[in-house]
């Protein structure tokens, strides 16, 4: 009797173990296959380089566009709604939807530009359309008045036409390019200020000829070698 009970309880234990194991494996099988995510794409994007080519698809259109003499922007007005050269420009017109953070509300005009009859002007093209929370940086000017006067000194904007080293050589880039890597956005098309509108928008590898001038060059002794000193 005891022997029989022992055998039965052994089988019961085995049976229960079987059910548990089977259940476990069944449950595991139900789980979705998990593939560890490793970043296999090592083709990094280099913002400073990538964006140069971003609007290059329109280069030929820019090249063939007639110039609308009557609605040209100038560098002067370009800098008037910036607190300093390089500052985000304020929005010089009423916004369509006050509750919008920007995005399509702004991009519908400012992604590709175009003439806006209401303002009798061409919409400037943003160099960074992928940043859609526009109004985190760009604000509307609702008053011309001051709270109190400011002593802030607006530094001089870089001048156009004086940045070339030789007569006729390609000018250097006199401004910072962070978030302005996309050259054609500001330098081509009808909204580009006329002084800085590129004559050759079809040449899209801009940095082939135009190199930045903003690097602070440490004067590491202007390259005087020992043997030239001994020369004296």
Partner 1 sequence: MYATLTNRRKFIKKMAVLSAMTAAATMFPGILFADEQEKGIPDHANLDWKKAPCRFCGVGCGVLVGTENGKAVAVKGDPNSPVNKGLCCVKGYHSIMALYGKDRLTKPLVKKNGKYVETSMKEALDLVASKMKETINDHGKDAVSIYGSGQWTIPDGYAASKLFKGCIGTNNVEANARLCMASAVTGFMTSFGIDEPMGCYEDIDHADVFFLWGNNMAEMHPVLFSRLLDQRLKRGVKIIDFATRTTRTSMAADKSILFKPQTDLAVANAICYEIIKNGWVNTSFVEQHCNFSKGLTNMGYGLEDHYKFKDKPEKINFESYKKFLEEYTPEKVAKISGVAAKDIKYMASLYGNPNKKVMSLWCMGMNQHSRGTWINNLVYNIHLLTGKISEPGNSPFSLTGQPSACGTVREVGTLTHKLPHGVVMNKKHREFAAKIWDVPVENIAPKPTYHTVEMFRALDRGDIRFMWIQVTNPMVTMPKLKRYRDGVKKEGRFIVVSDIYPTPTTDIADVILPSAMWIEREGMYGNSERRTQYFEQMVEPPGEAISDTWQIIEVAKRLGYEKQFYYKEETHIEEIYTEYRKHHNNKKHNMAPLEVLKSQSGAMWPYVDGKSTKWRFNAKYDPACSNGKDFHFYGKPDGKAIIWQRPYEPAAEEPDNEYPFWLNTGRVVEHWHTGSMTRRIPVLHKAMPHAYVELHPDDAKRMQIRTGDKVKLTTRRGEIVLPASINQRGVPAPMQVFVPFFDEHMLINDITLDSFCPISKEPDYKKCAVKVEKV
Site residues (vs partner 1, CB under 8 A): 39, 42-50, 52-53, 56-57, 59-60, 71, 74, 76-77, 120, 159, 161-170, 172, 202-205, 207-213, 215, 217-218, 220, 222-228, 230-231
Q: What DSSP character marks residue 23?
A: H
Q: Which is nearer to partner 1, 53 or 138 (CB)?
A: 53
* Contact predicate 109/138, CB 8 Å: no
Q: Which is nearer to partner 1, 47 or 103 (CB)?
A: 47
Q: What DSSP character marks residue 61?
A: H
**What is the longest distance spanned by two Cα atoms in the chain?**
119
For residue 166, the minimal CB distance to partner 1 (Å) is 5
For residue 185, the minimal CB distance to partner 1 (Å) is 16
Q: Which is nearer to partner 1, 76 or 97 (CB)?
A: 76
SS3 label, residue 122 = strand
Q: Which is nearer to partner 1, 99 or 218 (CB)?
A: 218
- Backbone φ and ψ of 18, nearest 5°: -60, -45
| Closest by Cα among 149, 183, 178 to 88 | 178
For residue 163, the minimal CB distance to partner 1 (Å) is 8
Q: Which is nearer to partner 1, 102 or 210 (CB)?
A: 210
Buried (b) or exposed (e) across 44-70, using 16+ Cβ within 10 A?
A: eeeeeeebbbbbbebbeebeeeeeeee
Q: Which is nearer to partner 1, 86 or 174 (CB)?
A: 174
* Integer Cα distance of 214 and 231 in angstroms: 35
CA 7 to chain centre: 76
Q: CB neighbours of 52 closer than 8 A, spacing ≥ 6?
A: 181, 182, 183, 204, 205, 206, 207
Measured CA angle at 107 (ends 102, 112), to 5 deg: 160
For residue 36, the minimal CB distance to partner 1 (Å) is 16
For residue 85, the minimal CB distance to partner 1 (Å) is 18
Q: Which is nearer to partner 1, 147 or 223 (CB)?
A: 223
For residue 121, the minimal CB distance to partner 1 (Å) is 8
For residue 107, the minimal CB distance to partner 1 (Å) is 23
């Amino acid at each position: 009797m005891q022997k029989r009970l022992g055998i039965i309880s052994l089988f019961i234990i085995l049976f229960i173990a079987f059910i548990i194991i089977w259940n476990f494996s069944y449950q595991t099988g139900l789980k979705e296959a998990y593939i560890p995510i490793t970043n296999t794409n090592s083709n990094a994007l280099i913002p400073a380089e990538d964006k140069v080519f971003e609007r290059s698809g329109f280069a030929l259109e820019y090249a063939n566009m007639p110039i609308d003499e009557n609605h040209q922007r100038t560098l002067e007005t370009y800098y008037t709604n910036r607190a300093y050269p390089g500052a985000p420009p304020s929005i010089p017109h009423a916004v369509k939807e006050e509750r919008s953070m920007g995005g399509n509300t702004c991009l519908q005009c400012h992604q590709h530009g175009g003439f806006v009859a209401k303002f009798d002007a061409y919409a400037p093209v943003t160099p960074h359309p992928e940043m859609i929370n526009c109004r985190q940086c760009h604000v509307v000017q609702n008053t011309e008045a001051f709270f109190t006067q400011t002593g802030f000194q607006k530094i001089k904007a870089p001048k156009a036409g004086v940045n070339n080293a030789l007569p006729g050589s390609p000018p250097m880039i006199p401004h910072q390019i962070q978030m302005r890597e996309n050259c054609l956005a500001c330098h081509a098309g009808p909204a580009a200020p006329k002084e800085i509108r590129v004559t050759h928008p079809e040449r899209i590898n801009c940095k082939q000829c135009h190199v930045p001038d903003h690097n602070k060059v440490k004067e590491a002794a202007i390259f005087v070698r020992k043997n030239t000193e001994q020369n004296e």
